[in-house]
Structure formats: C-alpha cells, structure tokens
C-alpha cells in the first residue's frame, strides 16, 4: 500500500527511519542522549520505556515537530533537520499524537475527511472506517464515542494519507483492556498490509505482542534492542515454576535440594528454573502434598527484562 515515488535512500533502500547519535536538550535537562536505531520497511518497531524516558521527544523529532540538539535523524531518507526535507516527510508520514482527540462536533467520517483534506491524496474514508471497524459509528459525532472508539478514529486519521510509516505515540494509554485489544487488532491489520509502524509504549505486553523489534529506552538512552524473544533470552533471566496458592505451608512441604523458592502475592510459590531441571523438580513435587496444586511454568517477560536492566519495574514509574 505504498504511495508516491520511492524516497532517496542512499545505500540502504529498506531503511524507513535511521537515527544516529540523536540528542535533545532542554536547557540543562537532557531528554534524549545520543541514541541510535533504525527501522526497516514493513516492521513494527516498539520504543519501550517508562514515562519521561524520552520516547515522545524522539518520536516528535522524527515527526518534524521538534528540532534535535545533536546527531542525525532521517525519515524515508529525508533529514528531519532540513526545512525542505520536512515538507516531504510531512506528506508521507502518518501520526497519532499521544492523547490525541479529533474534533468534538464532527462525525467520524467528517473527521477523517477533515484531516485527509490536509494532504494532496487521501484514502477513501469509508475504507478506513472499515479498517478500524467503525461502520456503525460513521455518522456519530466524535464527542459521543467511548475512549476506545475515539482512539480508533485517531488511528484512521493517522492513516488517511496512506503513509509510508505510521507513528503511534502511546496509542493505548488510558484504555480499558478490551479497547486496548481492539487497537492491537488494528495495528496487526496494518502489519499484515506491510505498513511500517513506529510505536511508543510503556506497556511491556503491548510491545511483546505487537513488535518485531523493541528498543528499550530509559533516561534518554537506549539500554537494549532486539526482537522480544532475543531481549527475553538475553536479559529476561530464568523461567519460573509457579505453584499456585500454596502459601507458607507449601514452602515447608517443598522437597529438599531445590533452588531457593520465594513466596509471591496471593500465596504463590516461585522457583527459578535452570535448563533441564524441570522434570526433576516435578518428580520431587509428586511425592509431596503439593502435587495436586495448580502448577505452571512462567516465561520471563519484557517486564523482567526491564527489571533486570534497570532494577525497577516500568509499572513502578507511575503513568
């Protein structure tokens, strides 16, 4: 679904975004501190980090809304710092700003056409309405929609110029779980259409579920990058065996010689697993009163990756 002429990509034709040593300072405050990454065509890239890590600043530099203090950033081969290049970038990117609201008293369809009219070419509003599954609400005024539906209008608006790359800044913040899933569904559809998506989020599960590539940013610096699996394998730590609701009593009933177990909330026992240990531990448990408890093996998540890399959980940062 690419439109327009191919952008001049010197050397690397499939790089949609290239960032090298990018930094942004506000007075003494360093918001982004020398970060580098790139984004390949057709990829869903998640920029993951707590609030205030520098995600929005970075994405707004790529959207030509802010000027970088140092380093270089190219979008579709165009330099975000050059005024003449910015005009080209604006024609070909799709943007959903964080906390975006469309115009209250315009209908869904009118809003899509409103933002579409800013571009020379716009996609058919009805097709976009279908893509974000809002057919029933097409003629409803924006202000009457629920938070989840509003966000889907935002997604449609961000796609209205059939962009070569879509920037979604915290697209599911503040939504209930069902609405988050709906937004994920739209991003998956974009992915299946081969769209390149740049997503910022502080939700670990979102990045893990949607992204091909994740870069974790903290205090303005990228601290790890890779596929979700690579990140988990490298930084996630061990798998954990969980015995549900076993309580203090359960701890005493564990067979001897196991790795150090700990009690977690709701009385779950967690035992870190080394490779090849699982069968032995399960056999050992079979001989104890714990054998009829619910047992599961939990894989580390990106949350564990962030914890291991920073010593904090993202959820502790507050939203």
Task: Give the binding site for other proteins (CB under 8 A).
Answer: 60, 63-67, 87, 90-91, 93, 95-106, 110, 113-115, 117-120, 141, 157, 161
Please count the helices (runs of H) and the strands (runs of E) in the chain: 11, 14
State the nearest-atom distance from the C-beta of 139 to other proteins, in Å: 13
Task: Name beta bridge partners: 258.
Answer: none
DSSP label at residue 127: H
Q: Which is nearer to other proteins, 92 or 235 (CB)?
A: 92
Q: Which is nearer to other proteins, 92 or 202 (CB)?
A: 92
State the nearest-atom distance from the C-beta of 181 to other proteins, in Å: 23
Report the distance separating Cα 77 and Cα 12, nearest Å. Answer: 9
Q: Which is nearer to other proteins, 79 or 212 (CB)?
A: 79
State the nearest-atom distance from the C-beta of 199 to other proteins, in Å: 16
State the nearest-atom distance from the C-beta of 26 to other proteins, in Å: 9
Report phi then psi at 32, rounded to 5.
-130, 130
91, HSE (Cβ side, Cα atoms, 13 Å): 14
State the nearest-atom distance from the C-beta of 99 to other proteins, in Å: 6
Q: Which is nearer to other proteins, 63 or 268 (CB)?
A: 63
Q: Which is nearer to other proteins, 63 or 164 (CB)?
A: 63
State the nearest-atom distance from the C-beta of 227 to other proteins, in Å: 29
Task: Name beta bridge partners: 22.
Answer: 35
Structure tokens at 280: 């032995």
Q: Which is nearer to other proteins, 77 or 116 (CB)?
A: 116
Helix 147-158 and helix 108-116: axis angle, to 10°? 30
Can you state the percent helix, strand and coil of the chain, rounding each to 5? 35, 25, 35
| Cβ-based neighbour number of residue 41 at 10 Å | 17
């Amino acid at each position: 679904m690419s439109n327009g002429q191919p952008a001049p990509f010197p050397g690397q034709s499939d790089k949609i975004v290239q960032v090298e040593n990018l930094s942004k300072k506000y007075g003494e405050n360093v918001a982004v501190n020398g970060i580098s990454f790139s984004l390949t065509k057709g990829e869903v890239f998640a920029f993951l980090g707590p609030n205030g890590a520098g995600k929005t600043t970075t994405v707004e530099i790529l959207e030509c809304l802010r000027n970088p203090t140092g380093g270089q950033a190219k979008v579709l081969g165009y330099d975000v710092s050059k005024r003449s290049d910015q005009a080209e970038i604006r024609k070909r990117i799709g943007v959903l700003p964080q906390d975006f609201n469309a115009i209250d008293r315009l209908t869904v369809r009118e809003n899509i056409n409103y933002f579409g009219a800013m571009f020379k070419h716009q996609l058919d509003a009805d097709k976009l309405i279908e893509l974000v599954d809002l057919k029933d609400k097409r003629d409803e005024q924006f202000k009457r929609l629920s938070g989840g539906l509003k966000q889907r209008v935002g997604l449609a608006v961000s796609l209205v110029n059939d962009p070569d790359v879509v920037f979604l800044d915290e697209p599911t913040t503040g939504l209930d779980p069902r609405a988050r899933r709906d937004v994920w569904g739209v991003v998956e559809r974009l992915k299946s259409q081969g769209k390149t998506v740049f997503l910022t989020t502080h939700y670990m599960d979102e990045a893990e579920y949607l992204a091909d590539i994740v870069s974790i940013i903290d205090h303005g610096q990228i601290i790890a990058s890779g596929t979700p699996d690579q990140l988990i394998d490298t930084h996630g730590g061990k798998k954990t065996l969980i015995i549900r609701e076993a309580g203090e009593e359960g701890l005493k009933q564990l067979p001897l010689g196991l790795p150090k177990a700990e009690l977690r909330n709701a009385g779950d026992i967690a035992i870190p697993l080394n490779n090849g240990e699982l069968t032995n531990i399960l056999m050992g448990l079979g001989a104890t009163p714990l054998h009829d408890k619910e047992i599961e093996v939990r894989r580390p998540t990106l949350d564990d990756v962030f914890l291991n890399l920073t010593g904090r959980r993202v959820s502790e940062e507050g939203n």
